[in-house]
Structure formats: C-alpha cells, structure tokens
Amino acid sequence: MRWKCTVAYDGTQFEGWQSQPGGNTIQDFIEARLAVMFERRVVIHGSGRTDSGVHAREQVFHFDADWSHGPDKLIRALRTGYPDSIQVYKAEEVDEDFHARFSVVKKRYTYQFFEGFADPFETRYFWSTGNRRMDVERMNTAGKLLSGKNDFSAFTANPGEERDDDPVKDLSLLRAERIGPRVILAAEADGFLYRMVRSLAGCLFDVGIGKLEPEDVLRIRDSRERKNLVLTAPAEGLFLDRVWY
C-alpha cells in the first residue's frame, strides 16, 4: 500500500530534507514519527532534496505501509510528534507505480528577495538585499533568455557527492514580480540541478542591480561551466512551491 503525502516546512532550523547522521532533517523527523506509528523502519522518498535552510510550501513524499484508517487519520497521526515547523497536510493512497521522485513532471520554486531589510517576522523567508535595488524588467529579460531546454551546468554547484543528474533541463518559466519592496522570482522546470535555483536567483539578482547585463546570462549558460561569476543566493529566500505529477 503506497501513500503519497504533501508537507510544508520552515527549513530554518533543519539541515535540509535528506536524512543525515545528526538526525536534524525533515526526512529524519518524519521517518522517526512513522517508526513510532508502524513499529518498524519506514523509508520515505521525497520529490527531491532541499538544502539546509530551504523551505517548502509543497514537498511531496511517498512511503509503503499498511494503514487502514484512511487519509484523514493518517494526516492527523503525521501532524504530531515533531515541531510545528513541519506540517503534513495532505495524504492519498496511490498506485504502486507512483514514485515521488521519478514520477515528477514539473516543479516550481520561488525565490524571495526583500529590498532593504525584512522585518523580524519575515526575515526567515527573504534574502534582505540592503541598499541594493533590483530592476525587475532587466531580470525578466534575462529570465526569458534563459528559458527553454538547455544545459544548465553553469548554474549548478559541486554537491560534494556523486549526482548523475542530466544537466539538460527544460526551464519553462523564470519570471520575477515586484510587490512593494519584495521581489518574488518563480522558476518552473521538469527538474532542477543541485543549487540551480539559488544560482539562477543570484545571477538574476546581479542582472537586476546592474552588475551583469541581461545578455551576459547566455554567455554564462553556454560556457556550461560553473564560474565565480555566478552568485549563489542564500538559502533562506528559497521555497519549493509545487510539484506536478
């Protein structure tokens, strides 16, 4: 019996999604809870990893376990036993051929900038850019140039471990929107490389503040090499927003 669950989390205090020896990851907390519920180890499979400090409005995972009390009670059982900053809010039984990672069709991330300093109630969810002002039109010109199916090797970082991801991704959307002092960048693709969104966000930020020209992003992309040119925007501004299957 396979269950597909959706979880939101504030990643501030966790060392990312994926299980780590210290146990302070979202996967570890959920698996610890499942171990109590099912009295055995239950492994969960996420749609993908999120880094330390990255948030999710909608992360999806699946696991196999016999649960005969229906989805509502499963959600309720999965809502206790860990901090409020992790909240499972959807559960449904799915076919055995569903896989949270391999069945992904598309994902959306958003990256949140705050011009100036986000107040204490928002600072965990924005990159505060201080005095630097962004020109959103320039950012969107660059975003359009970067869209499409391409090799994004220039926008990934060495994860320090083997990942054999195909560097060719179909980036269907990369678009910034200004809401007062907040600039929200949305990125949609069939898949993302390690640190790809934060690298795109850093690069578009540099375009926004005039450090790069919009056309520069093509040269960077076509180099297919990670260079110091590409800034990695900090984790706190990043949200995994949606996963399509």
Query: Which residues are annotated binding-site positions for substrate?
Result: 109
Q: Is 55 in the site for a copy of itself (CB under 8 A)?
A: yes
Q: Is 80 in the site for a copy of itself (CB under 8 A)?
A: no
For 46-79, the DSSP string reads: ESS---TT-EEEEEEEEEE----SHHHHHHHHHT
- Among 64, 92, 93, 119, contact with a copy of itself (rule: CB under 8 A): 119
- Among 29, 63, 125, 152, contact with a copy of itself (rule: CB under 8 A): 125
51 is catalytic: yes
**Cα–Cα distance for residue pair 90/71, rounded to 1 Å:** 8
**Cα–Cα distance for residue pair 109/96, rounded to 1 Å:** 27
Pairing of strands 238-244, 86-94: unpaired
Q: Is 75 in the site for a copy of itself (CB under 8 A)?
A: no
- Among 42, 86, 142, 171, contact with a copy of itself (rule: CB under 8 A): 86
Q: Is 180 in the site for a copy of itself (CB under 8 A)?
A: no
Q: Is 54 in the site for a copy of itself (CB under 8 A)?
A: no
CB 172 within 8 A of CB 188: yes
* 56 vs 207 by CB, closer to a copy of itself: 56
CB 240 within 8 A of CB 107: yes
Catalytic positions are 51
